[in-house]
Each structure stands twice: as C-alpha cells, then as structure tokens.
Amino acid sequence: MEKILVADDEQLMRQLVVDFLKPEGYEIIQAADGKQALELYTEHHPDLVLLDVMMPGYDGWTVCREIRRESSIPIMMITAKGEEIDQLFAYDLGVDEYITKPFSPKILIAKIKAVLRRGQQEQQHQAAEGVSIDQDAHQVVLDGEVLDLSPTEYKLLNYLMSNAGKALSRRQILNKVWDYDYYGDLRTVDTHINRLRIKLGNKGKLIQTVRGYGYRYEQKL
C-alpha cells in the first residue's frame, strides 16, 4: 500500500483529501504544520507528499526544500496561491505538480496516480541500467553492490538521476546539491563529478559533460 503524507493546517481540508484518497487504497498520514510534516516524513518515508504552502512553523516551500535536499520522492502542492510566480517558484524548488484550490477530486486522484507511476517507471529504468537509489536506506546500489558514497556524492547522483536526460548547469547543481545560499566555486561541482564517475566505474559514462554548461545523466550507455 502506497503511503501519502498530507500536510495542511486546515483540518477540514486534510479530511477532505483523506476522504478522496482512502477509497483508492492509499495509506494516509496527516500533518497539521510544516514542522510536523518533516518529522512524519522522516519517520514514515511516504511515497508522495501533498503540501499546502501557507502553514505555521515551516511553510510548504521550506518543507519542500528540506525534502529535496535528500530525496526525489514526488511532491505536490495544493494551495490557494494561484499566481504564476508562485507556480514557477514551486517548480524551481522541485515540485512535481501544482494544484490550486478549489480543485476537482477526480483531477487530484488522476495527477497523484500519474506522478506515482512516473516515479515507479524511473526507478525501474534506473535499476535496469545497473544503478539504483534506495531512498529509504539512503544508498546507491551499483550492479547489486552498495556504493560507498559521501552524503554530498549521494545527493549529487540523486539529483542527476532524478533529472535524467536534462542538461543541468553547474550553478543549478551547486544550488540544489550544496545549498540554495551557497556561493562557492563552480569547480566544486567538477571535482565531485569526477570522483563520482570513478566510483561508478564503467557506469560513470552515464554522467555526460555538456560543454560550456554543465552535466546530463543519460538513461543508457
């Protein structure tokens, strides 16, 4: 049974979402604020997170940012903030779907199923190439063996694989993997990419250099 964490400070909204999703066979975990959402995320390792933006403690942006520091699990925003700038900011943080209130229950369920399906397909493809990420164990497995990666190397590979096929600039990688406020030398990215390639062995070729820009994780050799 797939687990969904629903974080919203309005109890009525949480219950409404629960009523929509439980008949679909999902296990629902509820959080009333951002701090509790992060605690329950760490404790239960949900398969998908539904976040409201405006919550006490930590807002939805902060919760999303913290989860994205270590995981690529699906995150969906359900919020009354429908401005284009808010949606663009959400996608820049790594949100998979953005739904504005009021919303259609059928559309919500359809989008949840689509996001979960995409995640499953990506995991299957990664495993087929001999490289897979175990989000619960916080480990990378290469041809059946656990790789000895530093926390930064793990986050770096996780980010690259989560965006397989996309060209990522060195600045994007630096901001996402190290810190949103980190202003270090871009060569830091190159150094860690080289170390990661060495540890991946012949699969290191999956990390392609995009000349004059950054890197791209290929889906196959």
Q: Per-residue pLDDT tens for 83-134? A: 888 888 888 888 888 888 888 888 889 989 888 887 676 665 555 577 888 7
User: What's the pTM?
Assistant: 0.59
Query: Are the C-beta atoms of residues 158 and 72 closer than 8 Å to each other?
Result: yes
- For residue 10 the two structure tokens come to 């309005």
pLDDT at 143: 84
Confidence tier at 205 by pLDDT (50, 70, 90): very high
Cis peptide before 102 (omega within 30 of 0): yes
